[in-house]
Structure 1
């Protein structure tokens, strides 16, 4: 792709106003600052002192916006293009390009060629334009940023076509694989205040960081692989000892399979009533989703479990094949039961009281796969300690390390993966300061 001189400012403004489906590309702070700069350059042609100052301010705002996002103007445009959520990207991620309305395809091609003109505006060229418009002796500093490696494939794709509209097919394939909007920007999300919210810095834990419970780990990895490859996958309940790594194992799946289209959505127990609606939102999207419910249990008077039951068992709506629920709990029976719940000959409130009891006891059975995490024995605990110590580059004598680790377990939270991690973190800081 050649890089001719930028189009006249008036032409660029007209083209930006003529975008049909990709308007969101220019709606962020950087895009709006770019349009404001173009407006200022156009008005500066009148050559009044006040408007020359406006031009300088507009350039400064655009420069600052690029510095904030730590991207070049070109990389910013490409990122916005990949993440754009509009009628074209939403539809093409669900269906073949050939099945879309011809008018929608034509609109997308038109917009891509417009964005190509915006892409041609390098920071150096705009700096020179400001120098001329404001009658400066020296051009303002041009923003520079190293090209992002993850955008190399798109730059290479666009470099070999004369018009960006010709690159519609590889873009459509990207939208199908990686999603659009929030799902393109984030691999981890949470349901909050009635909507999905992206998690910018998910827990960096890796599956390989976890020692012990190898059978449980293998079963969970296998079930997740089923999901990613389009086979029926089971809902999973991970229950057992606190601090055994149940939650960490689920979080670690994101880093193992995120590049393969996996998305992890955290839903708090208080928001379980929205679970059927969340699943319907995700249905038919190309990505695969794990709905993660941590520390799950219900009091006897709570009925939020009914919404979870609908998702686990289904209703008249067919089960979504791209969504599974992974829940962790310290309790095998998720609904709290009291001895008073059990029917006695004197019960007068409910004739079939055992049905209620059985519903409570069998709720956890509705998960297709139940993985049990028993308390770590001393051998497993010490394996965790040595594994984490190696990762932390701790070179303490093995006997001394084990002695201190066992003392820590006795004085603190017992033998568990969590306790091992806390000990290693404390020891690393202590050794670093001494």
Structure 2
């Protein structure tokens, strides 16, 4: 039997006009009566009159923020919206896949925040211009499109499971399954996307100016791999407060980094010294400490130093400050990357960008392995060759030494670590155990102290004797 058509079916645009007009009257009445509703309440009123098809059309019409449709959760949600007229099996599958991804990202209780955060980290014409401080130079049509996309993100984020089920055209065919489908909560968007579109656009622009855009806003650590910059999803979380000893050496590196962040003159830095003294940890802890101030780090493997000009092209125009990190740097006489690094530090056509410094760590002060046999032979200008080998380290404007601690400094580090972890062990017992631990491992170092304290903590928690 054919379903009887209603006036809404025959004149959908006319009814939509009057329904939106009714919403506007509700807003006006609220203003007159001094009643305040949050923006989500109005979106719920509006979406109660929109269909799931309308929502899918809105998402498909993203322009400036089109990139969010390529992100996992928004794409799954878009596929679910597009299934408004699909067979029940396809609709249920799309529902389950979307909800699984939402749970996997930890947003089952806040869809709106998930979608708005994705938009915040999108790289597009607006975010790139705003990151460079040029958002006000964008053409009026671009700004208008940005505000429209923001409104769509706010609207889509307020959709509830009830909205989607009401808009599904084959709801009757779902039967009792509809009542058992997992439910998410709409929640609220991030602060930058709360409010009217004009205010949100200004807040988004301010965020991009301070944090960059795209992956540079989402991540702080990166690695150069296969000719491109890739984010490090789980960087070492070490903090400066966890590093004990070497305060003077560490302060020198910190002051140099702060000069970079403040737009002042700063030097490339070589952290050299004995193994296990905290050279690499210092660099990583500085990143974690100052990332909120716009510091980012790109680790560059030594064997890819020839790609330095490509890296410069990627980061030179960004509003952030970068440390290009080269870990465990050393060379042999025949190493081809030796000349490449010298050109990078000074003398190459590809200038080092003003927003970046090179921080390298090495166990060698002069970086190049040298033998007594290198000083022999029949070379006429043997002195020039030796100076060539030693000249690389001189191109680092700042060289900071991390040498092995003596017994007193070593034990001070041990006691500081024990106190930080709240370990209740007598001082003499700690001293004896720490010395024996260092002796078994060939010498004292902060790394050795950290390993010893980790062992002590583990045995204490297991109730085992030290």
* TM-score between the two structures when normalised by the length of structure 1: 0.89
Which residue of 1 is the match for residue 343 of structure 2?
Answer: 310
Q: Displaced runs of 4+ in structure 1, greater than 6 A?
A: none
- Is the 1:272–1:305 contact (alpha carbons within 8 Å) kept by the matching residues of 2? no
Q: In 2, are the aligned partners of 1:70 and 1:145 still within 8 Å (CA)?
A: no
CA 1:244/1:139 → structure 2, altered by over 3 Å: closer, same or farther? same
Which residue of structure 1 aligns with residue 117 of structure 2?
Answer: 79
Alignment match, 2:20:
none
Q: Which residue of 2 aligns with 1:9?
A: 52
Q: Which segments of 5 or more consecutive residues in structure 2 lack a partner in the other structure?
A: 1-38
SS state of the match for residue 400, structure 1? helix
1:265, CA displacement in angstroms? 1.5
Q: 2:82 and 2:352 mapped to 1: Cα distance? A: 52
Aligned partners of 2:405 and 2:307: how far apart in 1? 36
Change (3 A) 1:408 1:343: closer
SS of equivalent residue, structure 1 residue 3: helix
Q: Does 1:26 align with 2:69?
A: yes
SS at the partner of 2:43?
coil
Give, in angstroms, the shift of residue 145 of structure 1: 8.6
The reply on whether 1:96 has 2:134 as its aligned counterpart is: yes
Structure 1 window deviating more from structure 2 (181-190 vs 220-229): it is 181-190
Distance 1:326 1:26 in 2: 38
Q: 1:60 to 1:298 in 2, by over 3 A?
A: same
Q: Which of 180, 184, 193 pairs up with 1:143?
A: 184
Pick one of 60, 64, 76 that aligns with 2:96.
Answer: 60
- Which deviations, in whole Å up to 9, do the C-alpha atoms of 1:89-145 show, x marking residues without a partner? 223211321222333333322322332332221345335545946554526231249
In the aligned structure 2, how far is the partner of 1:268 from the partner of 1:424? Answer: 31
Partner of 1:390: 419
For 2:401 and 2:135, the matched residues in 1 are separated by 46
Relative to structure 1, is the Cα distance of residues 20 and 146 closer, same or farther in structure 2, using a 3 angstrom cutoff?
A: closer
Q: Describe the superposition over 1:222-260 as per-residue Cα deviations: whole angstroms up to 9, x where unpaired.
A: 111101111111110010111111111111102210111
Q: Which has the larger radius of gyration?
A: 2
Cα distance in 2 between the residues matched to 1:114 and 1:133? 29
2:256 to 223, 239, 243: 223
Q: Tell me the CA shift for residue 384 of structure 1.
A: 0.8
2:371 is aligned, of 338, 344, 369, to 338
Counterparts in 2 of 1:135 and 1:410: CA distance versus 1, 3 Å: closer
* 1:325 alignment partner, SS class: strand
The change in CA–CA distance for 1:307 and 1:217 in structure 2 (over 3 A counts) is same
Matching residue of 2:444: 415
- The within-5 A match list for 1:217-366 is 217-342=250-375, 346-347=378-379, 352-366=381-395
| Paired positions, count | 415
Q: Distance in 1 between matches of 2:347 and 2:208?
A: 29
> What's the RMSD between the two structures over aligned residues?
2.2
Question: 2:276 is paired with a residue of what secondary structure?
Answer: coil
Q: Residues 15 and 128 from structure 1, CA distance in 2 versus in 1: closer, same or farther, beyond 3 angstroms? A: closer
Give secondary structure in 2 for the equivalent of 1:244: coil
Normalised TM-score (structure 2): 0.84
**Closer, same or farther in 2 for the Cα pair 1:76/1:114, shift >3 Å?**
same
Q: CA deviation at 1:21?
A: 2.1
CA deviation after TM superposition for structure 1 residue 165, in Å: 4.8
Conserved 8 A contact 1:73-1:123 = no
8 Å contact 2:53–2:167 — kept in the other structure? Answer: no
Query: d(CA) in 2 for partners of 1:128 and 1:70?
Result: 26
Gaps of 5+ in 1: 45-50
CA offset digits 1:187-234 (Å, max 9, x no partner): 111112221121122112111111221211111111111011111111
Which of 105, 109, 126 is 2:164 aligned to?
Answer: 126
CA offset at residue 331 of structure 1? 0.4
Q: Aligned in 2, Cα 1:256/1:140: closer, same or farther, shift over 3 Å? A: same
Q: C-alpha displacement at 1:176, in angstroms?
A: 1.7
Distance 1:105 1:305 in 2: 49
* 1:115 and 2:156 correspond: no
* Secondary structure of residue in 2 paired with 1:191: strand
Distance 1:101 1:406, change over 3 A: same
Say if 1:312 and 1:367, in contact at 8 Å, map to a contact too: yes
